[in-house]
Amino acid sequence: MSNRSIVLIGFMGTGKSTVGARLAEQLKLRFRDLDEEIVSRTGQSIPDIFAERGEAYFREQEGRILSLLLEEEVPQIIATGGGAVLKEENRKRMKEQATVIHLTAEEATIVERVRQDRNRPLLQGDVEERVRRLMAERRGLYDFAHLCVPTDSESVEQLCARILVYMERN
C-alpha cells in the first residue's frame, strides 16, 4: 500500500466525512475533514464565513488549508468539501500529492441526505433545485480522481473495503 495520503472528493452528501473517518480508523491514519479544519483555523463557522466574507474568501481558505494538509509528511485521510475541486490548482495538487477517490451518488440520494442540513450555505432555498444546479455546474470537475466509487447502495464498510482493495493494488 502506498504511503500517500488519500483525499476523498465528491459532491456534498456523498459520504466523504463518514467514509473518510472509517477508512482512517481501518488504516490507523489521522482523519482530517477540510471543512472542520477551515472552521478551527479561521475561528468561524462555514455559514458565518459565507455570510460575512463571501464564497471567494472561503474558497481561498479552503485552497490554502488543503495545501498545508497535503504538504504534511505523514499520510492521512482528507475529506474535502464538495467545492474543493472548483479551483484547478486544488485539483492538480490533490492528483499530484495524494491518491484521490471520488465518491458519487445520484441526485435523489444527495437531496435526501442533505435536505435537513442547515450547515450548508450553498443549499439555502429550494434544495432540489440547488442540488441539481450545482451538480450540473460541477459536472466533470471530479473526473481527475484515481478511483470513482458510487455510494448510493453500499454500506460504509463495503465502500471502505472497495477503496482498500484499490489501495492494495496501486
Query: What is the DSSP code string of 17-29?
Result: HHHHHHHHHHHT-
17 labelled as ligand-binding?
yes
pTM of the model: 0.94
Residue listed under C-alpha cell 456523498: 14
Which candidate, 28, 98, 30, 87, places its Cα nearest to that of 62?
87
Range of the domain at 21: 6-169
> Distance between CA 131 and CA 125 in Å, rounded?
11
Query: pLDDT digits over 126-156, tens only?
Result: 888 989 999 999 999 999 999 999 999 999 9
Q: Which helix (H) or strand (E) holds 85?
A: none
CATH number at residue 86: 3.40.50.300
18 labelled as ligand-binding?
yes
Q: What is the pLDDT of residue 1?
A: 56
If phi > 0 it is left, if psi is from -120 to 50 it is alpha, else beta; for residue 14 that is: alpha
92 labelled as ligand-binding?
no
82 labelled as ligand-binding?
yes
Instruction: Give domain status of residue 1, yes or no.
Output: no
Burial of 162 (0-12, 13-18, 19+ CB in 10 A): middle
Across all residues in the chain, what is the average pLDDT?
A: 93
Instruction: Give domain status of residue 71, yes or no.
Output: yes
Query: pLDDT digits over 44-54, tens only?
Result: 999 999 999 99
138 labelled as ligand-binding?
yes
Residue type (1 letter), 136: A
14 labelled as ligand-binding?
yes
Which candidate, 153, 109, 116, 159, places its Cα nearest to that of 135?
109
42 labelled as ligand-binding?
no
The number of distinct structural domains making up the chain is 1
Beta bridge partner(s), residue 77: 6, 31
Instruction: Give domain status of residue 118, yes or no.
Output: yes
Q: Count Cα neighbours of 123 within 13 Å in the Cβ-side half-sphere.
A: 22
